[in-house]
Amino acid sequence: MPQPLVVVFAGTSWDGVTGSDRLLASALTSHADILWVDPPISAATPDRYRYGASRLGVSPQIRQVSDGVTRLTPRVLPLHTRPYIKVSTAALIRSQTRWALRKLDRRPAAVMACNLVDVLRSWGPGVAKVLYGTDDYVAGAELMGHDAARVAEDERRQLDNADLVVAVSTVLAERWTGLGAKRVELIPNGVQTSAYRTPGEPAELPKPLTGPVAGVIGQFSDRTDFELLAALADDGVSLLLVGPHDARWEPDRFPALTERPNVVWVGRQPFESLPTFLRHIDVGVTPYRDTPFNRASFPLKTLEYLAAGKPPVSTDLPAVHWLDTPLVRIAGTPKAVVAAVREAAAEAHDPALVARRQAFAEQHSWAERAKAMAVALPL
């Protein structure tokens, strides 16, 4: 007897940046089979976003990528995100998904949208329609270069079509409840704790760093408080920065920071290698600016530091208050962050505290989040 099938309309390609959608979908395979629907491609899609898919042909591509996960890459018209073309984009994605379901001879128990593309309509009775909301799309519109009014319209449509809205933070849950969503469940981001049980040898760095070492993983963009990073480096704390840099953010100051003798930036790294980089750090830092978009988020990195046994220091975010643990230090100003990092570094390698951090992370694993999702659907 096969497991129920969940269609996941993903925000990123299966081979792209590993985010909440893929981590949750992978964990959900213990409860359901997954049809993962990549963001669509067209003849005009740059090669770096095609992830091996051919530029030739107009047929969607379907293939098995792991146990329990089948991947569909839809094909759409060029300029498919433009306002008047994206109507056809959503229709093509829905029709090609139904084609894939016929090929698999399966009917979904649920369809889950991980963005605001209009894919939740017209599924008929017996299919749960879910919006999996990881961000405040309207607050982040300017950051992403989108028109906030159009994004708000898309958000309203998606909420109207969804039987269930899953929010990763209390801020999002409150927002969408206030906008009249039929049903809202809070299922925060989690952490793949299994990756940190046997992390392997420390990754090779381009130059050595002396302690204490503060690590930051993630994208360095307008979400990041540059002043906090600079204050740590100014105070003599070494920095290990892991993740891509948005060239529009601090185009001069960020490169200058990475040239300092006590700073190493290794750029984007495969998700699987993150534990080997975290072996080098004493403290993990979540240096988010105080913005509406950031306040609605639930940073993966804070839980990843805990899973690695490292003490986190975070700026003041509702997600940290929801975790409600003294294992995470909260600091808002550059001076307070420096003090918190040095305080955390002093107890970073205490075996009892390392074990407490990892045990706490287990309570917030993706496996636990998948159980909550399976109950919410239900599966």
Concatenated DSSP letters of 83-139: TTTHHHHHHHHHHHHHHHHHHHT---SEEEESSSSS-SSS--TT-EEEEEE-S-TTT
Peptide bond into 270 cis (omega under 30): no
**Minimum mean pLDDT range among 40-44, 223-227, 267-271, 342-346:** 40-44
Strand partners, 169: none
The pair of three-digit structure tokens given for residue 81, joined into one six-digit string: 């995100």
**Minimum mean pLDDT range among 120-124, 212-216, 317-321:** 120-124
pLDDT of residue 85: 77
* Nearest alpha carbon to residue 128 among 46, 52, 49, 185: 185
Angle, vertex CA 42, rays to CA 55 and CA 37, nearest 5: 105
What average pLDDT does the segment 255-263 reach? Answer: 98
**Minimum mean pLDDT range among 12-16, 170-174, 285-289, 327-331:** 12-16
pLDDT of residue 221: 96
Q: Is the distance from CB of 160 to CB of 179 less than 8 angstroms?
A: no
**Tokens 């039987």 found at:** 163
pLDDT of residue 211: 86
Residue type (1 letter), 268 = R
In this prediction, what percent of the chain has a pLDDT beyond 90?
A: 84
Percent helix / strand / coil, the chain, rounded to 5:
35, 20, 45
**Minimum mean pLDDT range among 80-84, 294-298, 321-325:** 80-84
